[in-house]
Structure 1
Amino acid sequence: MTENTTQEDQWDSENYNTHASFVPKLGNTILAMLNAQSHERILDLGCGSGELTNDLAGQCAHVVGIDSSENMINKAIRIQRHKNTEYYVVDGQALSSWLTSKQIPLFDAVFSSAALHWMKEDPVAVIKGMHDALKPGGRMVVEAGGFMNVGEVHTALIQALNRRGLDGKSYSPWFFPSDVYYKQLLEENGFDVKDIALVPRPTHLNTDIAGWIETFGFTFLEALKTEQERQEAVREIVEQLRPGYQREDGSWHIMYVRLRVVAIKK
């Protein structure tokens, strides 16, 4: 079901599966931190193509998965394994208004893996939405990109646009806050932060850095007018990163820095 979408859907679930299937697999760490209980009703915020949502649904009473991408939600519905799961296309930055307009019952917990950093336009609205979604004393358990996340690739993408006379930073789609700043935002908006940390995680890519850029760096590439320009920019970035991030066996690795948070609604 589609509600409150705010932008063109730029995600392709099959391309994502090819170049980034490591993302839901590595989400098991934060899922374990959630420690879902069999009686609980849980919101999966930014559920993507639903792999982790399936795992979560096997642990609790009811799951609602939301994502801004209709393409991703359609795949999540196709691979759905449990009857206790509902999916909706919802922009996480419009979560509060969706909850009110649809009279959605409150949740015991909000879970999110590898999604909040895509909600750059209004991260405070996302926090307020999570607060509004929870019962008093309910918990949010999330993992997203934090300060210095994929820093080498992020910088290379910005520089590639700068070299072409564009403001590269303005095309970045990501919100990578420090633990200090994000804790402040949470406390200012009704949460008691129990645990927050930046966790470096060297990550082995499924394919290569070009595939990663095409999957996740699409807003940068779309700033370029022609396919030839886009291909040239990707080749430049690959060669810039190759000395430091391609292993001896040819595989590619980049440094993810994950912001992990456990907080309670006051």
Structure 2
Amino acid sequence: MAPWCAWAGRSASKRRSMPPSMRRCCLRSWPPEGSSPSDAECSCHSIRSAMPTTSGWSKLEVRPETRERHPMTEAPHNAPGQHWNAADYRHNADFVSALGHEVAKLLAPRPGERILDVGCGDGSLTETLVKAGATVVGIDTSPDMVAAAKARGLDARVMDAHNLPFEHEFDAIFSNAALHWMLNHEAVLASLHRALKPNGRFVAEFGGHGNVAAICTAMLAALQARGISGRARFPWFFPTVEEYTESLEAVGFTVESIELIPRPTRLPTGMTGWLETFAAPFLHGLDEYLREAILNDALALLAPSLRDSHGNWTADYVRLRVKALC
């Protein structure tokens, strides 16, 4: 049976006792003209089944599928609303690959090795591994990024790291500034472990606990000010050292080194360029005027702490750098 809102049709005094998100939903005309509760739907969180009775419509228990999802077991693999454009990324975020050379040194690629670069982007850092004499396969979920990497002459493929087709094929796996976008990190780590040869190494750097904390707080506050929950829109996984160590060991890795590295990072095109490049999931599905207002509010909140007197912006980056053995 179709769901309907358990609060629909209540008096104004009753509606005032509802949570705001439900109240906004139920202040609409209900049920819609020409329909009954059995064929109408409500977008609020108090969704129930309706059954006709001699006295009207009865309310049953909340359907299991409408209950809140567990954030880890049922989370989407990647954040909705994030789309990558190689040219825009190069313009707003070319610092990402430039700052990845330190973790590439930790990998220490050797001639003849077969290496998987997870989240290769446009291939800028992948080229460094190839120049060291390694045979590198780059993977990314973005067709535009993969096309840009192929234009460099690289072996790049559109592929999702949550479920790789490789079985014990690589001497090493490398990843820079990508793993925090992959929300089911347990599935990713199991997939990477399976792709490595025995004694293979995994070297990565990505957003760790506390990464862009001020930016996250400002975006969430700007959303909340308009009655929009940011919890389901949060697009990243930023683990602590302890959390990620536990996850690595759970799938069979032995951690050789792992650390959080605070790295305040100058933004070449300012905070506006950064938000346009990386923060789309916070604004996914919102009208353009609302997107603009939320971004303006976030910029106002961030300016006192992340913009200097000359107008230069810095992002409060904290990176997690790890080396583990299969």
Range that drifts further, 193-202 or 162-171 = 162-171
Q: Is 1:155 equivalent to 2:155 in the alignment?
A: no
1:53 corresponds to: 126
User: Does the residue aligned with 1:99 lie in a helix, a strand or coil?
Assistant: coil
The equivalent position to 1:114 in structure 2, one of 165, 177, 183, is 177
User: Does the residue aligned with 1:149 lie in a helix, a strand or coil?
Assistant: coil
The equivalent position to 1:250 in structure 2, one of 302, 305, 311, is 311
Unaligned runs of 5+ in 1: none
2:42 corresponds to: none
Q: Which has the larger radius of gyration?
A: 2
Q: CA deviation at 1:79?
A: 2.5
Q: CA deviation at 1:149?
A: 0.3
1:209 corresponds to: 271
Letter in 1 for 2:174: F
Q: CA deviation at 1:164?
A: 1.6
Letter in 2 for 1:99: F
Q: CA deviation at 1:206?
A: 1.3
| CA-to-aligned-CA distance 1:114-156 (integer Å, 9 cap, x gap) | 0000001x11111011101111000000001000000000111
- Normalising by structure 1, we get a TM-score of 0.90
How many residue pairs match? The answer is 249
Q: Is 1:233 equivalent to 2:294 in the alignment?
A: yes
User: Does the residue aligned with 1:112 lie in a helix, a strand or coil?
Assistant: strand
C-alpha distance in structure 2 between counterparts of 1:148 and 1:223, whole Å: 27
2:281 corresponds to: 219
C-alpha distance in structure 1 between counterparts of 2:81 and 2:159, whole Å: 13
Which is bigger in relative contact order (C-alpha 8 A, separation at least 6)? 1
Q: Is 1:99 equivalent to 2:166 in the alignment?
A: yes
1:40 corresponds to: 113
| CA-to-aligned-CA distance 1:65-118 (integer Å, 9 cap, x gap) | 0001111101111123xxxx41110011122xx226xxxx61000000000000
Structure showing the higher helix proportion among its residues: 1
Letter in 2 for 1:109: A
C-alpha distance in structure 1 between counterparts of 2:96 and 2:134, whole Å: 25
User: Does the residue aligned with 1:48 lie in a helix, a strand or coil?
Assistant: coil
C-alpha distance in structure 1 between counterparts of 2:269 and 2:318, whole Å: 20
Is contact 1:171–1:223 with CA below 8 Å preserved after alignment?
no
Letter in 1 for 2:252: G
Q: CA deviation at 1:248?
A: 2.0
The equivalent position to 2:249 in structure 1, one of 179, 187, 195, is 187
Is contact 1:49–1:75 with CA below 8 Å preserved after alignment?
yes
User: Does the residue aligned with 2:226 lie in a helix, a strand or coil?
Assistant: coil
User: Does the residue aligned with 1:247 lie in a helix, a strand or coil?
Assistant: coil
**Residue identity (%):** 42
Aligned Cα root-mean-square deviation (Å): 1.6
Is contact 2:81–2:281 with CA below 8 Å preserved after alignment?
no
Q: Is 1:140 equivalent to 2:140 in the alignment?
A: no
Unaligned runs of 5+ in 2: 1-76
Is contact 2:120–2:140 with CA below 8 Å preserved after alignment?
yes
1:89 corresponds to: 158
Q: CA deviation at 1:8?
A: 7.5
Is contact 2:209–2:240 with CA below 8 Å preserved after alignment?
yes
C-alpha distance in structure 2 between counterparts of 1:21 and 1:184, whole Å: 32
| CA-to-aligned-CA distance 1:200-239 (integer Å, 9 cap, x gap) | 0010001111111111000112242x11111111111111
| CA-to-aligned-CA distance 1:22-70 (integer Å, 9 cap, x gap) | 0011010100110001121100011011100011111133100000111
